[in-house]
Amino acid sequence: MILLCKVAGISHAAYYKWLQRKPTARELENEALLRDVRAIYVRVEGIYGYRRITLIINRQWKKTFNHKRIYRFMQIAGLQSVIRQKRKRYVSSPAQHVAENLLNREFTASKPNEK
């Protein structure tokens, strides 16, 4: 123990004070929040991302949490939403029938309805 304190560069009193400390209200809230985030993530089978989970948490707790905080918890816990595949774009196909070039860019006519 003495060796560990020397290696870490802290005093014995600081170590024992750390052992006896109580978690703050913010830390307790963070733990409860992380439990809820994990529960929601499991319930929806990992489909929801941090934005939707934030909406659900804010409704459940009747309190507003910042989306960045939920995002940070999800990153710490290693939770990531399912990323959907992009839809396929339109692929042009060759024309089935191509008309012959009868006009050959000669658009002027000597009389109506000739071309």
Task: Give 86-112 pLDDT, tens digit per residue.
Answer: 898 888 888 788 888 888 888 888 888
In a domain, 94, yes or no: no
The mean per-residue pLDDT over the stretch 40-61 comes to 96
- Whole-model pTM: value is 0.65
Residue 43 lies in a domain: yes
The one-character DSSP state at 89 is P
Four-residue CA torsion sign, 29, 31, 34, 39? negative
Q: Residue 100 falls within a domain, yes or no?
A: no
Q: Is 75 contained in some domain? A: yes
Q: How far apart are CA 22 and CA 2, in angstroms?
A: 23
Q: Do the domain assignments include residue 74?
A: yes
Residue 112 located in a structural domain: no
Helix extents (H) in 1-115: 2-8, 12-20, 25-43, 50-61, 67-77
Domain extent at residue 29? 24-82
Work out how many domains the chain is built from and give that number.
Answer: 1
In a domain, 48, yes or no: yes
Q: Give a yes or no: residue 31 inside a domain.
A: yes
